[in-house]
C-alpha cells in the first residue's frame, strides 16, 4: 500500500480528520511512516509594512507562529500515538503552505499526501475545496487524498 504518508495539519478539525485517515492506512500496513507537517507563513518586513488598517497575521512575529506550529505538530503526534500509530514524525516549515507541502512530499518521497478540505473559512455546505488543498491536489506528484 503506502510506505510514506504526509499529513498536513493546521490545527483545524479537517486537518485532524486527515490525520485519522493516515492512521487508518497505517493500521492496514504497519510499516508505513507518517510525516506530520505544519507550515506557517513567514511574512517579510516589506509585506508587513504593506498591511494597512487593522492587525493581521502579518503582525504576529515569526517566533509566535513557529511556536504555534510546533504545538500543532506535537498535539497531532500525541493524538496519533494515542490512536495506535507508530513511526510518526513531526515537522514544522515556513513558507507558502501549498508549495511547501508539495516540495516536502517530493523531498521525503511520500506515496500519499492527506489534507483537510478547508480551514476555518469554509463555506456552509463544505462543498468547495480550500485554496491550499486545491493547490496541493493540482501540483503534487503523488496521489492526494482530501478529507
pLDDT tens, position by position, 13-59: 999 999 999 999 999 999 999 999 999 987 555 444 555 544 455 55
CATH superfamily, domain 4-146, is HUPs (3.40.50.620)
- The DSSP H or E segment spanning 61 is none
| CA distances from residue 112 to 21, 72, 97, 101, 124 in whole angstroms, order as listed | 11, 21, 17, 11, 28
Neighbours of 45 (CB within 10 A): 8
* Domain-wise residue ranges, the chain: 4-146
Task: Give the list of residues 6+ apart from residue 97 with CB closer than 8 angstroms, or none.
Answer: 8, 10, 39, 41, 132
The answer to whether 39 touches 15, Cβ cutoff 8 Å, is no
pLDDT tens, position by position, 83-136: 999 999 999 999 999 999 999 999 999 999 999 997 644 444 444 568 899 999
The answer to whether 42 touches 94, Cβ cutoff 8 Å, is yes
For 111, list phi and psi in degrees, rounded to 5. -90, -20
Amino acid at each position: 500500500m503506502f510506505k510514506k504518508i504526509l499529513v498536513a495539519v493546521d490545527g483545524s478539525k479537517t486537518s485532524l480528520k486527515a490525520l485519522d485517515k493516515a492512521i487508518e492506512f497505517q493500521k492496514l500496513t504497519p510499516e508505513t511512516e507518517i510525516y506530520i507537517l505544519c507550515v506557517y507563513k513567514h511574512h517579510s518586513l516589506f509585506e508587513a509594512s504593506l498591511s494597512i488598517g487593522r492587525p493581521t497575521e502579518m503582525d504576529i512575529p515569526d517566533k509566535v507562529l513557529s511556536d504555534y506550529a510546533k504545538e500543532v505538530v506535537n498535539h497531532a503526534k500525541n493524538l496519533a500515538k494515542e490512536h495506535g500509530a507508530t513511526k510518526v514524525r513531526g515537522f514544522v516549515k515556513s513558507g507558502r503552505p501549498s508549495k511547501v507541502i508539495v516540495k516536502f512530499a517530493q523531498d521525503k518521497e511520500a506515496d500519499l499526501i492527506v489534507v483537510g478540505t478547508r480551514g476555518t473559512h469554509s463555506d456552509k455546505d463544505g462543498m468547495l475545496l480550500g485554496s491550499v488543498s486545491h493547490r496541493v491536489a493540482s501540483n503534487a506528484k503523488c496521489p492526494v487524498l482530501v478529507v
